[in-house]
Structure 1
Amino acid sequence: MEQIKRFFNDKNDVSKDADIDYSQAGDYLEAVKALARTTYQSLYVINYQTKSFEYVSENPLFLCGKTSEEVKELGYAFYFQNVKPEDVEMLVKINEAGFEFYDKIPIEDRKLYSISYDFYLINSKKNLVLVNHKLAPMFLTEEGQVWKALCAVSLSNNSSSGNVVLSKEGSDEIWRYDLIENKWEKSEKIKLTSREFEILSLYASGLTINEIAGKLFITADTVKFHRKKLFEKIGVNNIAEALSYAKTNKLL
């Protein structure tokens, strides 16, 4: 239990008698379950008041061979069983840095922010699987602490843990966390040209170069030209990395 407490920050201490408008939640879990069913995304909900998982979807990626109910019952103990030990320490650091950042945001803006990062899960076959984890606040206390948050887990196209990015809905500003220097660095979202956006969107749909060329009424060489320019702009080497970058930085 002492280990688990490290994931919870004093700046987001939601006590049992916290001032919470409970009516804001309603039947929200039904909506989350419907999203999980229709998209088959790996989703779970954190309740910071009870320091537990309130819901875990049945997508096997996050479960590591367990059932969704088993992971739900484990809550944060799941991380100590199924996350690479070095990455557990990294997650504690990200958690602390995230709430330090969050504490400085105006309360009315807090639901607009989300955080993304990568870490290694240890699956049921004891293999390491690099996943991307996104967390967004759903409900707040009257004082602005996160009461419940929605998390989405997917395979990462990056090559290592970390890659911590905070972003705000409707803003071109993003913040990256330097895990070595322990500080947030603000930058602007890279802007894609309309052609780059079209090509990347079609790649995300699973189309080949020739199929994209046909859709856009351009040659395959022109697709390759725009793809090369895109790779240079965002600093990646292949389309998998480009799609991962676009997803993390909300370019699509």
Structure 2
Amino acid sequence: MAIKVLIYDDNVALRNSMAVLLNDIDDFEVVAAMPNAETIVTDLQTFTPDVVLMDIDMPAVNGVQAVKNIRKINDQLPVIMLTVFDDNENIFKAICAGASGYILKRYATEEIPAAIRNVLTGGAPMTGSVARKVLQMVPQAKDEQQEKADLSKKETDILQLLVNGYSYKMIATEIGISIDTVRFHIKKIYDKLHVHSATEAVSRALKDRLLSFLF
């Protein structure tokens, strides 16, 4: 079954080229390519996408607000921000709103197909320069914050890899454990952080400064 993709971007040329790119890949289907996110709630009901590509800078309803609107009705649907902005404020706002990934438009042709596959397997895909900025937002953790989270060393390692955009398979390879073991540890992380998804875990890590080291 094809992966259903819903695109929001007010740049008609980019919107159309992205739709053509994805529709040319056998297991992708662009169900709609919209110029704005004013109808996001009804669009989700109409098109039932598996993943959403969301521009940040749009008229009427910007991408960050659109993600917030999505999260009010669906906290699991992957939403990848597709944008020209790589400044800290936009990245942080998008992640805290519930974005699942953050890809710069100038790398979209190269990165979007893999990013969609990544996010559907539990990853949080980000363009490399964005991932570095995210890591820079995570200062040295305070001891009391780590104690409050009560994460083990391995759980902290896995959370760091989630922040860095790794999928479950990539985490398993990096740490040398099975994917089932990764899922077990991530479930424990979710329980301890009181979250339900990789996006929420990354957001909590950033907002509460839970990570004690940077790559």
TM-score scaled by structure 1?
0.32
Which of 1 and 2 has greater Rg? 1
Greater strand share, structure number: 1
TM-score (norm 2): 0.36
Higher share of residues assigned helix: 2
